[in-house]
């Protein structure tokens, strides 16, 4: 296909994580020449992970970035195209749909939204400015910078345990700061973290301030059960307090829940209230959030997009057996 700003795409996929890449493989095999807009966090959350041990087909595990790279190559093999950048606006009230990649106008017949979710921040002053200077939302990316240093991890879920365990391989000491006296994490992750000698838990504790102007130098903490407030010298602050779905551009256009996750028209399907718009992955899943469930959802979205294009008579000539296997 000749690329031109005036061309109307068959399928545009927002996001290049597990869901988006699986949608790209299926849409490409259906001869739809999908365009994947890679987004700000290209490769999604798997690209910031190390070992993935629960993706079927890899009995010895696989590194997250390698899994993503393989999926991308698989999609490219069937004709998927990739563009860096983010979709900055979208208009679903016209057909073909209009959208912009970093301000450049484009059009598409269908849209598959796999834009995922982004790490949540605490909202403390200076927190964002200190990202990369001692504040991080990704231990697997940054842990090696904290060799023999002292760090805290905020959160009590699986992510916090995973980050703490990973950091413990590098850091001298890891403090898990959790606002309750009970962890949300799965039993197996709890046990691993609680039995690690390098990890210490600070229960019922809030991080109230990050100290340091150009680099993290310490933190202020508050134990709301005892009322104690104290200052601690620390080298790194890792935030593992959940994620926010990347759905801002769809406000007032697609149905969302109170947290901003997109809501499918029918449970278990990828269809939305706007015909021709489909969803997959963490952007609508705050329950399972697994690579394999995201992949499944991406597959569903691509199959639904293909069926929609066929139904409205806009599907290009089909490659036999494309998505039916």
- The residues that are catalytic are 138, 141-142
Dihedral angle computed from the Cα positions of residues 209, 215, 218 and 222, in that order, rounded to the nearest 10 degrees: 20
Minimum CB distance to ligand NAP smaller for 59 or for 103:
59
Minimum CB distance to ligand NAP smaller for 9 or for 158:
158
What's the rounded Cα separation, in Å, for the pair 7 and 93?
19
- Smallest gap from residue 64 Cβ to ligand NAP (A): 11
Q: Which residues bind to ligand NAP, rule: CB under 6 A?
A: 122, 154-160, 162, 179-180, 184, 240-242, 289
Residue in this structure with the two tokens 């629960």, named with its chain if needed: 54
State the number of CA atoms in the 13 A half-sphere of 107 facing the CB: 10
- Smallest gap from residue 272 Cβ to ligand NAP (A): 23
- Smallest gap from residue 155 Cβ to ligand NAP (A): 4
If one counts every other C-beta atom within 10 angstroms of the C-beta of residue 229, the result is 12
- Smallest gap from residue 69 Cβ to ligand NAP (A): 21
Q: How far is CA 194 from CA 95, 123, 140, 275, in A?
A: 55, 28, 20, 49
Minimum CB distance to ligand NAP smaller for 58 or for 82:
58
Minimum CB distance to ligand NAP smaller for 99 or for 166:
166
Helix then strand then coil, % of the chain, to nearest 5: 25, 25, 45
Minimum CB distance to ligand NAP smaller for 184 or for 307:
184
Minimum CB distance to ligand NAP smaller for 238 or for 250:
238
What's the rounded Cα separation, in Å, for the pair 13 and 75?
12
Helix (H) or strand (E) holding 189: helix 187-194
Nearest to 304 by CA among 260, 256, 266: 266
- Smallest gap from residue 289 Cβ to ligand NAP (A): 4
Residue nearest ligand NAP (C-beta atom): 157
- What tokens were used for 325? 């296997």
If one counts every other C-beta atom within 10 angstroms of the C-beta of residue 200, the result is 13
96: cis peptide before it, omega within 30°? yes
- Smallest gap from residue 290 Cβ to ligand NAP (A): 7
What's the rounded Cα separation, in Å, for the pair 36 and 49?
21
* CB-based burial label for 314 (10 Å; 0-12, 13-18, 19+): middle
């Amino acid at each position: 296909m000749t690329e031109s700003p005036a061309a109307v795409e068959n399928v545009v996929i927002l996001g290049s994580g597990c869901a988006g890449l699986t949608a790209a493989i299926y849409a490409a095999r259906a001869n739809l020449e999908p365009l994947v807009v890679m987004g700000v966090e290209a490769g999604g959350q798997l690209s910031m992970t190390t070992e993935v041990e629960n993706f079927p087909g890899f009995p010895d595990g696989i590194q997250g970035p390698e899994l993503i790279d393989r999926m991308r190559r698989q999609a490219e093999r069937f004709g998927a195209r990739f563009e860096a950048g983010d979709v900055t606006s979208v208009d679903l009230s016209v057909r073909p749909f209009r959208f912009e990649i970093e301000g450049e106008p484009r059009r598409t017949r269908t849209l598959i939204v796999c834009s995922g979710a982004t790490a949540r921040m605490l909202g403390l002053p200076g927190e964002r400015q200190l990202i990369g200077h001692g504040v991080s939302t990704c231990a697997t990316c940054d842990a090696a910078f904290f060799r023999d240093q002292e760090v805290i991890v905020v959160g009590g879920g699986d992510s916090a345990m995973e980050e703490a365990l990973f950091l413990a391989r590098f850091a001298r000491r890891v403090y898990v700061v959790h606002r309750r006296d009970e962890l949300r994490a799965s039993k197996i992750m709890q046990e691993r973290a609680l039995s690690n000698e390098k990890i210490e838990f600070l229960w019922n504790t809030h991080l109230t301030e990050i100290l340091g102007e150009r680099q993290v130098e310490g933190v202020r903490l508050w134990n709301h059960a005892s009322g104690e407030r104290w200052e601690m010298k620390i080298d790194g602050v890792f935030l593992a307090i959940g994620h926010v779905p990347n759905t801002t551009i769809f406000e007032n256009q697609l149905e969302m829940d109170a947290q901003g996750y997109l809501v499918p028209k029918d449970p278990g399907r990828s269809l939305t209230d706007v015909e021709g718009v489909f969803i997959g992955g963490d952007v609508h899943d705050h329950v399972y959030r697994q690579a394999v469930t995201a992949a499944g959802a991406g597959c569903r979205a691509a199959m639904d997009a293909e069926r929609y294009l066929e139904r409205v008579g806009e599907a290009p000539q089909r490659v036999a057996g494309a998505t039916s296997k």
